[in-house]
Structure 1
Amino acid sequence: MKVAIVYNHPYSGSFCNAILHSVLAGIAKSGHEADVFNLDEEGFNPVMTAADLKAFVMQKPVDLQVLAYHERLKEADHLVFIFPIWWELMPALTKGFIDKVIFPGLAYAHPKNSLKMTPLLTNLKRVTVISTMNTPSWLYRILFGNAIRKAMMVGTFWKIGFKNRKWISLTQVKSATHAKRRKWLDRIEERFTKLK
């Protein structure tokens, strides 16, 4: 199995970076292969330009990095996102990845005169999102409407036909004890150790 990991955090000392290492450790123990799309280090441009929008209509992307990412995604069985939640949403690079790589003609088909979308990356069997935030889970759910669940889990991956979706939401990270953070990391590593 190959796991494509879309990672977005600019600071190497972040808890997201620790999560990435736990995921990679679990994948290594499971005997599977990882492919990390480090959006910050790879200089991914998240901006939808006029050329990108024209390409969206034609369903033929023009961004060479997007095309390269798509080729790598075609080799993966499991897609994982790791990012912090800032101002209740994902950072710009993650949003740009969704906008530009989860693209009609590449990631899904959208027949004319139909609301139904179908996935084209049929090799992907599951999608996992791992996010961190400082907001309490109850507050994020009640006041902010679980924005990531609505935007990514439902508004993107459910919409285009992926049935096997999981969101791991780590909340109040800033105030979490070292022991609690260690427990989170151990559980994540164990989860990826058991990949089948």
Structure 2
Amino acid sequence: MKVVIVFNHPYDGSYCNAILDSVMKGLQKATHEVDLIHLDKEGFNPVMTSQDLKAFVDRKPIDPKVIEYKERLEQADHLVFIFPIWWELMPAMTKGFIDKVIFPGVAYDYKANGYGMIPIFKNIKSVTVITTMNTPLVLYRLIFGNAIRKAIITGTFWKTGYKNRKWISFNKVKMVSDAKRKKWLEKIERRFEGI
């Protein structure tokens, strides 16, 4: 199986980087092929320009990185996003990736009757989103409205027709013990070894 990971965190010492290492170790133990899209290191421009919006209307991306990512995602069986939650949402680069790559003519198209969407990446059988945050999950759900679930799991991938969507949230990351963080890493490694 080929797994494409879309990773966004600019600091190499972050817990997101530790999660990335664990995910990759698990996938490699299971001999899956891994393609890492590291948005912070690949020169991806998350800004949607007027030319990008014209391309949206035409359903033909013009950003060379978007075209490259399209080709890489066409080969994926499973798609994984790893990023921190900052101020209840994803970082700008992750949002820019969704805006510019989960795009008509790239990741989805519209049904003939104009109602609803259909996925274009036919090989992708599942999407997993892994996030870190310092907010307790119950507060994130009840006070902040579960923004990531609504925006990415439902508002992006359910809406565009992708099946088997999962969200794994690591909460209160700065408040928990090192031992607990290590257990989380071991658990995520085992999980991805088993997919």
Q: Which residue is 1:134 aligned to?
A: 134
Q: Give 3-state SS (helix, strand or coil) of 1:150's partner.
A: helix
**Which runs of structure 2 are paired with 1:54-133 in the superposition (5 Å)?**
54-111=54-111, 114-133=114-133
Q: Give 3-state SS (helix, strand or coil) of 2:145's partner.
A: coil
Name the amino acid aligned to 2:137: S
Q: Which residue is 1:38 aligned to?
A: 38
Q: Which residue is 2:151 aligned to?
A: 151
CA deviation after TM superposition for structure 1 residue 114, in Å? 2.2
Name the amino acid aligned to 1:49: T
Separation of aligned partners in 1, 2:24 and 2:114: 40
State percent identity of aligned pairs.
66
CA deviation after TM superposition for structure 1 residue 115, in Å? 2.5
Name the amino acid aligned to 1:156: T
Q: Give 3-state SS (helix, strand or coil) of 1:42's partner.
A: coil
CA deviation after TM superposition for structure 1 residue 33, in Å? 0.8
Give the structure-1-normalised TM-score: 0.98
Aligned: 1:166 with 2:159:
no
Q: Which residue is 1:176 aligned to?
A: 176
Separation of aligned partners in 1, 2:112 and 2:134: 42
Q: Give 3-state SS (helix, strand or coil) of 1:191's partner.
A: helix
Q: Deviations over 1:76-106 (max 9, x none)?
A: 1000000000000000000000000011011
Separation of aligned partners in 2, 1:149 and 1:112: 28
Q: Give 3-state SS (helix, strand or coil) of 1:19's partner.
A: helix
Structure 1 unaligned spans of 5+: none
Separation of aligned partners in 1, 2:185 and 2:72: 26
Separation of aligned partners in 1, 2:50 and 2:163: 32
**Which runs of structure 2 are paired with 1:15-30 in the superposition (5 Å)?**
15-30=15-30
Separation of aligned partners in 2, 1:115 and 1:11: 41
Name the amino acid aligned to 2:156: T
Structure 1 runs (4+) deviating above 6 angstroms are: none
Q: Give 3-state SS (helix, strand or coil) of 1:167's partner.
A: strand
CA deviation after TM superposition for structure 1 residue 163, in Å? 1.7
Q: Give 3-state SS (helix, strand or coil) of 1:55's partner.
A: helix
Separation of aligned partners in 1, 2:25 and 2:111: 41
Q: Deviations over 1:119-167 (max 9, x none)?
A: 0001100000000000010100001110000000000000011120000
Name the amino acid aligned to 1:107: A
Separation of aligned partners in 2, 1:59 and 1:117: 14
